[in-house]
Chains A and B, each alone.
Chain A
């Protein structure tokens, strides 16, 4: 089953207090199946809106979003989303948070235990099954949130600044972890970040968006630059010292900065 995402002239506007706000303007793009796509752009450029539309939480007034050729109409476990603030159910344990999606989607109890055990091992939280989210660090909570989505074998994984709330060390660890976890199933990833370094390290391609109303400003094909040996295959702190990495980073940062500074 192909998991490519097609955006066909997607427009989105909100009715704000000071009149209508146009969040997205004819966003037109193709994401390849199993691609790791990272989106950067100035604050308020409609990145999050794009992700919420892709998840099916809202419907765009004009344009269409297709997953594997089928129009996205409602949210569902095939379009998993991971939020910046983790959004775990605080009254459920780690085990029950992960179990939630499996249970409501009718997976038989015996299979569920097996899958939960496997995904908890994958995120390295064995022994924390019966902890509540508040007993875990931010990094651990985000692992659980990723596991909760990942256990449902989503076709696309939508990540809305997932590591923004973490400290620098945890962020680095989680970036590397995410690559490892993603490799086991390779869903199509749409990843939003404010960190250009994070984008360059993780992405097959990076989209730089314009300021509001958001459109595609430029696409940088990282995989094409790195060839077969992608930067994300190596440890983050080694990669960021490389000159070719820094070249791409500053080029993208220049693009983002021009969108911030032309404001007003």
Chain B
């Protein structure tokens, strides 16, 4: 019955009758759900599939624990310490590293990107160096960072810096480059001199691009962080990457998978937060 309806609407253009039709397929019902609820339902569906596969084939816990094991491991992690402390200690350690590396990338990348677009000679000076460095993957910096900073938070923050820096710089640079030259002409004919044009025209016009650069930089920084925590192993025995490694070394697959899930959740929360901020900076766009 449901299949027949779907086929009919594929073979001809939808009519008014289709739209007002009272026959609703399961697909229609899921589509009609609020976004968050739909995501929740589908996540539950996949967890059920995972559980079913593990139980059906009686997979060993060391090979693939079922989702209930993983979730209960995450819950236990809230108070049961691994290494330096429980869950919050590790999440906090990772976020602090991220903020250091990301913060340094903002402080250097944004002004440099803006200045490169505004003062052409600077572009000639910096661009070749930048073109060379941008193809070195962030994780390739990790061993080098350990020469400089030793294994630990500083080395990891440095790796994050190398991955956040490029998108932040490029987007800031492009933001100023893409400013409509008519707006600058208009400002000049209204009597604006170069500093006024920089602060009142070029910067506001570039701001949405800058914020986009920050969003990409934060996402790539988060990826690099976990890699850095695994490669540039820490003496402080903390961070979400450390949890993954611990799970592997102690043959606790539930801990490794649990940490991975946490990384995914935290990463998407960070992205949600920065998207909200991004919207506020682009209020004047359509």
Binding site for B on A (CB under 8 A): 52, 55-57, 75-77, 79-81, 83, 85, 87, 89-92, 100-101, 104-105, 132-134, 148-149, 152
Q: How far is the CA of A77 from the CA of B190 in the complex (A)?
A: 5
CB-nearest residue of chain A relative to B284? A91
CB-nearest residue of chain B relative to A57? B185
Give the shortest distance, in Å, between A47 (CB) and chain B (any CB). Answer: 16
Q: How far is the CA of A91 from the CA of B200 in the complex (A)?
A: 10
Q: How far is the CA of A104 from the CA of B198 in the complex (A)?
A: 13
CB pair B190 A149 closer than 8 Å: yes
**B183 proximal to A (CB < 8 A):** yes
Give the shortest distance, in Å, between A7 (CB) and chain B (any CB). Answer: 18
CB-nearest residue of chain A relative to B190? A101
Which listed residue (A79, A80, A90) contacts B284, Cβ 8 A? A90
Which listed residue (A79, A80, A100) contacts B200, Cβ 8 A? A100
Q: How far is the CA of A104 from the CA of B187 in the complex (A)?
A: 10
Q: How far is the CA of A66 from the CA of B182 in the complex (A)?
A: 24
CB pair A75 B183 closer than 8 Å: no
Which listed residue (B189, B201, B284, B286) contacts A77, Cβ 8 A? B189
CB pair B189 A81 closer than 8 Å: yes
Q: How far is the CA of A77 from the CA of B180 in the complex (A)?
A: 20
Give chain A residues whose Cβ lies under 8 Å from the Cβ of B207.
91
CB pair B204 A104 closer than 8 Å: no
CB pair B286 A134 closer than 8 Å: yes
CB-nearest residue of chain A relative to B201? A89
A sample of 15 more A-B contacts (CB under 8 A), given A79-B189, A85-B182, A104-B200, is: A56-B189, A75-B185, A75-B188, A75-B191, A76-B191, A87-B186, A90-B284, A90-B285, A100-B190, A100-B200, A104-B196, A134-B284, A134-B285, A148-B190, A152-B190
Main secondary structure of the interface of A (DSSP, over half): loop
Q: How far is the CA of A56 from the CA of B180 in the complex (A)?
A: 19
Q: How far is the CA of A92 from the CA of B185 in the complex (A)?
A: 17
Give the shortest distance, in Å, between A24 (CB) and chain B (any CB). Answer: 18
**B205 proximal to A (CB < 8 A):** yes
Binding site for A on B (CB under 8 A): 180, 182-183, 185-192, 196, 200-201, 204-205, 207, 283-286
Give chain B residues whose Cβ lies under 8 Å from the Cβ of A92.
284
Q: How far is the CA of A91 from the CA of B183 in the complex (A)?
A: 12
CB pair B196 A89 closer than 8 Å: no
CB-nearest residue of chain A relative to B192? A104
CB pair B183 A80 closer than 8 Å: no
Q: How far is the CA of A233 from the CA of B128 in the complex (A)?
A: 62
Give chain A residues whose Cβ lies under 8 Å from the Cβ of B186.
81, 83, 87, 89
When A and B form their complex, which 3 residue pairs have the shortest distance between CB atoms, in order from nearest? Answer: A101-B190, A77-B191, A87-B186
- 9 A-B pairs within 8 Å (CB atoms) are namely A56-B189, A77-B191, A79-B189, A91-B204, A91-B284, A100-B187, A133-B284, A134-B284, A149-B190
CB-nearest residue of chain B relative to A81? B189
CB pair B190 A104 closer than 8 Å: yes
Give chain A residues whose Cβ lies under 8 Å from the Cβ of B191.
75-77, 101, 104-105, 152
CB-nearest residue of chain B relative to A134? B286
Q: How far is the CA of A76 from the CA of B51 in the complex (A)?
A: 72
Give chain B residues whose Cβ lies under 8 Å from the Cβ of A104.
190-192, 196, 200
Give chain A residues whose Cβ lies under 8 Å from the Cβ of B284.
90-92, 132-134
Give the shortest distance, in Å, between A56 (CB) and chain B (any CB). Answer: 8
Residue among A77, A79, A104, A105 facing the most chain B CB atoms (10 A cut-off): A104
Q: How far is the CA of A81 from the CA of B285 in the complex (A)?
A: 24
Which listed residue (B182, B187, B189, B205) contacts A80, Cβ 8 A? B189
Give chain A residues whose Cβ lies under 8 Å from the Cβ of B283.
132
Q: How far is the CA of A76 from the CA of B190 in the complex (A)?
A: 6
CB pair B183 A87 closer than 8 Å: yes
Give the shortest distance, in Å, between B281 (CB) and chain A (any CB). Answer: 9
Q: How far is the CA of A149 from the CA of B207 in the complex (A)?
A: 26
Residue among A77, A89, A101, A152 facing the most chain B CB atoms (10 A cut-off): A89
Give chain B residues whose Cβ lies under 8 Å from the Cβ of A149.
189-190
Give chain B residues whose Cβ lies under 8 Å from the Cβ of A87.
180, 182-183, 185-186
Give the shortest distance, in Å, between B279 (CB) and chain A (any CB). Answer: 14
Q: How far is the CA of A101 from the CA of B200 in the complex (A)?
A: 11
Give chain B residues whose Cβ lies under 8 Å from the Cβ of A75.
185, 188-189, 191
Give chain A residues whose Cβ lies under 8 Å from the Cβ of B286.
134
Give the shortest distance, in Å, between A160 (CB) and chain B (any CB). Answer: 10
Give chain B residues whose Cβ lies under 8 Å from the Cβ of A90.
284-285
Q: How far is the CA of A89 from the CA of B180 in the complex (A)?
A: 10
Q: How far is the CA of A76 from the CA of B285 in the complex (A)?
A: 28
Give the shortest distance, in Å, between A51 (CB) and chain B (any CB). Answer: 10
Which listed residue (A81, A100, A152) contacts B185, Cβ 8 A? A81
